[in-house]
Structure 1
């Protein structure tokens, strides 16, 4: 062990057990990729062994954002010993997996990265066990082999802070009494046959927009939650109408879209565009294509997630802001031909998913028109 490293705040001995546990767990996941006709070797080599004559591999990388801060806060202050971090790996993996599905792929491989403000973060055996269980659970449930990982203490780059502001609204750097980490990773998907590749280029006016509901808010918009709810007397221990604390509600894990997309593909539904509702909220729906079209949403059968409803009412946040920040109950959008609607809904029902017809693609200038919300027009994010 390097005494210089330790004195600088990096103690690799504290990280050793976590690295070993993740490596051992990863070895047990190698067989999971066979669900999608991919064999995974221990050193991360992949072989497609399925019946299709053509296939393609694609990699997608994504990060989780600030959700682990909420888990860290609950771990520090809830005082109930619940495993608040166990589903953080699920959320992190789903950010990449649900994106990879949008290209018509099925996930078979994953490499994780956890960056923490110090090596002490990886010395907590109870927390480590939660993370290992979370990664394993997500791999098992979705047919993914975890082949590699990176564990990094960024002592001089990361610092967990509290949301404190001066009278002018300027953030004051105040250290938090707990540590939170940044989670990210890359997923590999197989597109087999290669003709299943989806990039939105075949989307046309008249195609039907389908949507499926989310488990809760998912992960995007965590910074808004942290800033707003931290001002309340009980902060994230504030009780919601369902009896859960706000913190518990926000840590409901993101729903995997793997069963839904696989069912649609197996039913030979012609998918012309699809994607998750993540950063920039519902306004991001237009990102499923690069074409100059508009998405007209004609009905909204989705219940507003309880955490979203709470902050919207408590802090008087406009619907326009909500739709630009959160999924507001919509997890995934899928565009198909009208002739395939019944077939798609039947396939979704067989795997336990709702799949509603919510709108139609129109000619237009890259925006989303929300008829159920007073015809609000959501410009393409960044405009």
Structure 2
């Protein structure tokens, strides 16, 4: 007969130990703006008066999808938290927002401290890269929903931008230039298809000419673009930005385009990444489906006036390239 919470599959003591073990990693992300402490009922973040004349808070939430299944199978849990931060913070970055703070939500069937601590340490590492504070979160043990120590992860990011500086894409016009910034790989989208493609392969087999295994290449964490974009924002008038996530270029670029223009993308300019060729060939996936599912090597897109092209490329560095141009159209994109 079930008599205690522990008998029902929830160990509160394990949860307490989890909180103690992540304190150091979490505290490393804090600045003087954080007024709360880990373990409180909420997170407190004090805004600086100089953040803007008309400060607007920008928020975003996301998860990492079924990429967590591969992380669990590989026993690699310290990078999936970076993915979670990246998926959220890259989204709010599209409005020109400076990241402020982050919260995570980790749900599992049975709390394994070694796994949960590694995940949250990854979240903290991602927050440090994004220069934002991890001010709170929730760890939920739900044995009736999740199997064993398998888990799911979601995050919530908040940033700030001056109202007059919000980047909307409304000013994008004919003749503007699309600048692509290379992805670090697949990032965190399309993994249901990825897992189907590699289902009969060993994740521990060596991949291509690299020293990494197939599983390690697939789990490469999502790139965080905060430092590059905030630096660019301070020197160039950015007209629009798109985070290339689920649906690839086809779905995400049109989200920022006015109805009277279209984007012409030169796919030959996109740096080749072996993982996408491998997935296409091994899975016998047509190219249209590939571009409709994956980022294909383009993790982020910036739209600028033609005269700012050279300066933008210089500021963004070697991973940036001319992706295409804006022309008259109806709000869609054309891949050439």
Q: Which residue of 2 aligns with 1:10?
A: 10
Q: Contact between 1:203 and 1:273, CA under 8 Å: does it hold in 2?
A: yes
How far apart, in 2, do the equivalents of 1:340 and 1:41 lie? 41
Q: Contact between 2:232 and 2:316, CA under 8 Å: does it hold in 1?
A: yes
Residue 158 of structure 2 corresponds to residue 188 of structure 1:
yes
Moved more, 128-137 or 271-280: 128-137
Tell me the CA shift for residue 302 of structure 1.
2.6
Written as runs of structure 1 = structure 2, the 5 A alignment for 1:235-314 is 235-241=202-208, 242-267=210-235, 269-289=236-256, 291-292=258-259, 293-314=261-282
Residue 115 of structure 2 corresponds to residue 123 of structure 1:
no
Q: Contact between 1:286 and 1:366, CA under 8 Å: does it hold in 2?
A: no
Aligned partner of 1:144 among 111, 132, 136: 132
Residue 300 of structure 2 corresponds to residue 364 of structure 1:
no
Aligned-partner SS, 1:236: coil
How far apart, in 1, do the equivalents of 2:150 and 2:172 lie? 41
Show structure 2 runs of 5+ residues with no match: 37-42
Tell me the CA shift for residue 89 of structure 1.
0.5
Per-residue CA deviations over 1:180-211 (Å, capped at 9, x if unaligned) read: 321111111111x4322112222222221110
Q: Which residue of 1 aligns with 2:200?
A: 231
Q: Contact between 2:269 and 2:322, CA under 8 Å: does it hold in 1?
A: no
How far apart, in 1, do the equivalents of 2:274 and 2:66 lie? 19
How far apart, in 1, do the equivalents of 2:28 and 2:284 lie? 48
Tell me the CA shift for residue 14 of structure 1.
2.1
Show structure 1 runs of 5+ residues with no match: 76-83, 160-177, 372-383
Q: Contact between 1:294 and 1:367, CA under 8 Å: does it hold in 2?
A: yes
TM-score normalised to structure 2 length: 0.90
How far apart, in 1, do the equivalents of 2:267 and 2:152 lie? 36
Tell me the CA shift for residue 142 of structure 1.
1.9
TM-score normalised to structure 1 length: 0.80
State the number of aligned residues. Answer: 327
Residue 122 of structure 2 corresponds to residue 134 of structure 1:
yes
How far apart, in 2, do the equivalents of 1:8 and 1:325 lie? 40
